[in-house]
Amino acid sequence: MGDDEGGLNARQLVPAEGGEWHGLLFDNSTVGVPPALTWTFRVPFAPVGGEPAALDVEWLPVAAPGWQAMAGLAAASGSFAEPAEASVHLAGHHRYDRVQLRIVEQDGRRIRVAVTVAGDIDRLGPGRSRWRAGWCSPGSVCSWVGWGRRPMRWPS
């Protein structure tokens, strides 16, 4: 989007059911990257003009003792890929420079998060947007206020 006619309006990005969150332990000793736990969150939106849309927040370093103790934690990235990446996927990959994510609360495997992105690098349209997620449980289908979660299996 982001065309000469003004691009996408933030109100067109309506959170929908589905989505996911998970942690990734990553390292690369060949280039000197030490082991680090980062988190990924996917926020699906209702189709825009018949096209699927979603927000991905990847490589976010939420300093947590484990996935069972996430409530109240937050993380931010002030520049794209330094360290996190936030992108809206809509007929392409549209990057946002800054992202803030807060885990509002947790009930067992379910979490609620609030996500704010800003700095529309690819000129999609919305310069700053915020979404709030409802409850989500890994391994089960959830309903969301703001965005959803697809089923995901966690290790025992």
Q: What is the pLDDT of residues 25-56, one digit of tens each?
A: 888 889 888 888 999 988 888 899 999 998 89
DSSP 145: S
Here the tokens at position 115 are 């996500």
Q: How far apart are CA 47 and CA 20, in angstroms?
A: 17
- At CA 154, angle to CA 153 and CA 156, rounded to 5? 125
Q: Is the pLDDT of residue 6 over 60?
A: no
Q: What is the pLDDT of residues 98-144, one digit of tens each?
A: 999 998 888 887 777 788 888 889 887 766 666 655 454 443 333 33
Residue 75 and residue 84 in contact, taking contact as beta carbons nearer than 8 Å = yes
